[in-house]
Amino acid sequence: MSGFLIAVLSVGVILGFMILIHEFGHYATAKLLGVRVEVFSIGFGKRLFGFRRGDTDYRIAAIPLGGYVKMSGENPMDARTNDPGEFMSHPRWHRFIIAIAGPAMNILFAVGLLTFVYMVHYEYPAVFDEPAVVGYVVQDTPAAKAGVQVGDRIVRIDGIQNPTWEQEFLREALNPNQPLEVTIDRGGQILTKTIVPEAYGPNQMGSAGWEPKEPNFPITDLEAGMPAEKAGMKLGDEIVSVDGQPITGLAAMIESLKRTQSKPIEITVKRDGQLLNFTVQPVLSDSRGDQRYRVGIGSAPMKVSALPFAAAFRQSVKQNKQGSLLILELVQKMIQRKISIRSIEGPIGIGRAAGQAASKKGWTPLLELTAGISLNLGIFNLLPIPIMDGGVILLLFVESLIRRDISLRIKERIYQAAFVFLVLFAVMVIYNDVLKMLPSIMQRTP
């Protein structure tokens, strides 16, 4: 229950703050341009308390699921009075700046927050610095069926030359059940292969079935009460072999446990330069909604540093630019039906991620998640969907091209259709969130 409360509290605080920043962008720009703001509300529904200053009622409302700014005369269906303080009385370029200010605030906040985080704690998987050399190929996966072998170096994938493992992971994840052309270097011989990543996991993202070659295999996560911890293994132990066979990484160990199942195994580790042997009996347990034999270890070697301001800012811009392009690509592929809508996380998924980030050591994981949510909110609001900021911008652009206002009757029909679309979309996302939870819920039922 405490984990649930942490998740609810975390997502409530994060989303509330993100929406506050978004609406403040609209509010500040409107005030600067001389548009009268009637209401600045945190939450929807009945007004609970607040205060009035000038023309604006600053309030806290009963339903804490967002917020809004109400500007005088912003509804195009309202009668026009030509009051200079009304939104519709201002030139289109004023309305454009006000509309784009909310998403811009979210994007700028994401860049600023991530810059701050990187100045204090810049952490990323160590394998991202390694060349894209295959260290293990899982049996009966697309990579194995295509003939990929251990030691192959990926020199081109989906048009990207000499990809990093980070780029490779994103390409296969965003192309489930879609053919990917891959060029590999095998001892100087250049081979071209077509691989179709399989849709995998609750989010139905693509997986090719290969794993990076890792320089070592240290234990970075040790679950309390699981066989590895009970046997005396410790964080930092470097796994050398299982039952006398060398192990190249976590994927290889998972495959080994599939064969041995509950049979006791001997794990050899290196600790402070010495080799130690442990006899461990795997147990059948849940891992991310998947029942499999496990010993309770994780391995994700990370590199940690603190960047100076200029480097932190450049890295933040790079990460946010990459994130923005990935969001747009994800939307495009969903429209083309090349990727499942299950890849989108709704409020339940965001809450789960927020709870996990809040429970991790330190505060940087939660701040990184907050930056990611802020970026997503900003980009999503720029999509050309009527009612949302991007829709307002699109209509202003069309009106500028035709040099006249779109008729109120047409606008009304557009807004009605957009409202229905957004409601259906929200219902679908929440429904998918619930479906993702069901496997783990069912598996926990006696």
More confident residue, 49 or 126: 49
**Distance (Å, whole) CA 228 – CA 220:** 12
Per-residue model confidence as pLDDT tens digits over 398-418 = 888 988 888 878 887 888 887
SS3 content of the chain, % helix, strand, coil (to 5): 45, 25, 30
Banded model confidence at residue 444, pLDDT cuts 50, 70, 90: very low
- For residue 307, give the amino acid letter: L
Q: What pLDDT does residue 318 have?
A: 94
Strands (E), 153-232: 153-157, 160-161, 180-186, 189-195, 198-200, 205-207, 210-212, 221-222
- Classify 201 in phi/psi space as left (phi over 0), alpha (psi -120 to 50) or beta: left
Measuring CA to CA, how many Å separate 258 from each of 27, 294, 324? 57, 9, 38
Give the count of beta carbons closer than 10 Å to the beta carbon of residue 201: 15
> What residue ranges define each of the domains in the chain, with the CATH number in brackets?
92-121+306-446 (no CATH), 127-211 (2.30.42.10), 221-297 (2.30.42.10)
N-term to C-term CA, the chain: 19
d(CA 227, CA 216): 22
Instruction: Clarify whether 23 is annotated catalytic.
Output: yes
Write down the pTM of the prediction. Answer: 0.82
pLDDT above 90: residue 254:
no
Inform me whether the pLDDT recorded for 10 exceeds 80. no
Q: Tell me, what's the pLDDT at 7?
A: 64
Question: What Å distances lie between residue 180 and 131, 139, 146, 372, CA to CA?
Answer: 19, 19, 11, 27
Q: Which of 23, 74, 214, 229 is catalytic?
A: 23
